[in-house]
Structure 1
Amino acid sequence: MTDGVSDPGSEGNVPVRDVARGLVFDPAGRLLLIAYEAVRPIDPADPEARTFWFMPGGGLEPGEGHVAACRRELEEEIGVADAPIGPLVAVCDGPFHLFRTPRFARERYFVVRLPDDRIDTRRLAETEDNPVLGTRWWTPDELAATSERIEPAGLAALVRTLADGTLPETPVTLTWHPTAQKG
């Protein structure tokens, strides 16, 4: 829950960060993702490639639960106050090294269905430690077909299931792409 605390299972003794993120859908079933510039190449074969896409959300503040953190982060990043936070549908735990501050991330992902696709990202860049390149609504088919780097791995398959209205019985375990795990 706090930055700067080592996790015995983490690699390289990086700080632990508990994170809540929203799988934010609009009424058309599209998922909102944010493009960031990574601090290191995301593909060893292409040293210039540094763009990756991620869900809105962020770290828990002291004493804050995951749902409250997700709601707060969505207001800060996409300007949606009092977002309807749905069920926990996925988790991803492990070292993550694409942001400026490496961390052992313990991420929890919640379904968020908005009544429309209106968002306000004017404050987004000021809340992030990596350069924000933009936002985009993705259809499940676009996510499945893209060559863009989407974090975490397995997100496209989960989104397709959720867009069809099916919720997993237990949270799905996702993983970071290998280059996101290495410092």
Structure 2
Amino acid sequence: MSVLRRTVKILLLDQTDRLLLLRGRESPEHEPIWYPVGGGIEDGEDAVAAGRREILEETGRREVEIGPEVWLRRHVYSWRGNQTDTHERWFVARTDHFTPTPHALTDNEQTYLTGSHWWTADELASTPDPVFPPDLGPRLTALLRDGYPASPIDIGDGSASSRPGLG
């Protein structure tokens, strides 16, 4: 049986449309993966407030404009032996380019967060490194080319994964 977890994911873009991704590693024997800023929505917290909190905790950045909600995804995954049914809400956020300095990571986050990088959509689409979700590069390319949808698009494929959406 899986645990239900409400989360927010932030497509944190700089002024040249580069996307900030974090790098994490489940354990030393697993390869690192790249994933967007974000995490759980706490009780009594709305998704935008959770997004602002996660940006601050994971990057140290306070002044970020959170824009429209663009995607939704339901994702079931196994992480450190626990099955999680995640309901993700994806928002675009804009900021000037900066060097992330985590501000308030949880003990758990400190054990797996190993770095960060600003990616162009082309770099993301062509990297051999694991990225989650795996189709993030092409999706970001389409979002930047076509603009934001009038209402959030469901990007879930309904399949389970042994690797996380993280956060």
- Answer whether TM exceeds 0.5 for this pair: yes
2:74 is matched with which residue: 93, 116, 139? 93
User: Aligned to 2:79, what secondary structure does the other structure show?
Assistant: coil
Are the counterparts in 2 of residues 153 and 174 from structure 1 also a CA contact under 8 Å?
Answer: no
Long gaps (5+) in structure 1: 1-12, 41-47
User: Aligned to 1:111, what secondary structure does the other structure show?
Assistant: strand
2:9 corresponds in structure 1 to 21
> Is the aligned partner of 1:35 residue 2:23?
yes
Give 1:50's aligned amino acid. Answer: E
Offset at 1:77?
A: 0.9
Are the counterparts in 2 of residues 16 and 103 from structure 1 also a CA contact under 8 Å?
Answer: yes
Change in 2 beyond 3 A, CA 1:60/1:52: same
Query: How big is each residue's C-alpha offset from its partner over 1:27-71, in whole Å with a ceiling of 9 and x where there is no partner?
Result: 11110001111359xxxxxxx552211111111111111111011
Give 2:62's aligned amino acid. Answer: A
Once residues 38 and 96 of structure 2 are traced to their aligned partners in structure 1, the CA distance between those partners, rounded to angstroms, is 19
Alignment root-mean-square deviation, CA: 2.5
> Is the aligned partner of 1:61 residue 2:42?
yes
Long gaps (5+) in structure 2: none
Are the counterparts in 1 of residues 57 and 104 from structure 2 also a CA contact under 8 Å?
Answer: yes
Give 1:58's aligned amino acid. Answer: G
Once residues 99 and 78 of structure 1 are traced to their aligned partners in structure 2, the CA distance between those partners, rounded to angstroms, is 24
Once residues 53 and 34 of structure 2 are traced to their aligned partners in structure 1, the CA distance between those partners, rounded to angstroms, is 20
Q: Number of aligned pairs? A: 162
Q: How does 1:167-182 map to 2 (within 5 A)?
A: 167-175=148-156, 178-180=161-163
> Is the aligned partner of 1:148 residue 2:136?
no
Are the counterparts in 1 of residues 75 and 160 from structure 2 also a CA contact under 8 Å?
Answer: no
User: Aligned to 2:2, what secondary structure does the other structure show?
Assistant: coil
2:31 corresponds in structure 1 to 50
Q: How does 1:3-18 map to 2 (within 5 A)?
A: 13-18=1-6
Give 2:155's aligned amino acid. Answer: L
Once residues 164 and 148 of structure 1 are traced to their aligned partners in structure 2, the CA distance between those partners, rounded to angstroms, is 23
1:139 corresponds in structure 2 to 120
1:78 corresponds in structure 2 to 59
User: Aligned to 1:102, what secondary structure does the other structure show?
Assistant: strand
Are the counterparts in 2 of residues 140 and 160 from structure 1 also a CA contact under 8 Å?
Answer: yes
Work out which of the two has the higher radius of gyration on C-alpha atoms and give 1 or 2.
1
Moved over 6 A (4+): none
Fraction of identical pairs, as percent: 30
Change in 2 beyond 3 A, CA 1:54/1:127: same
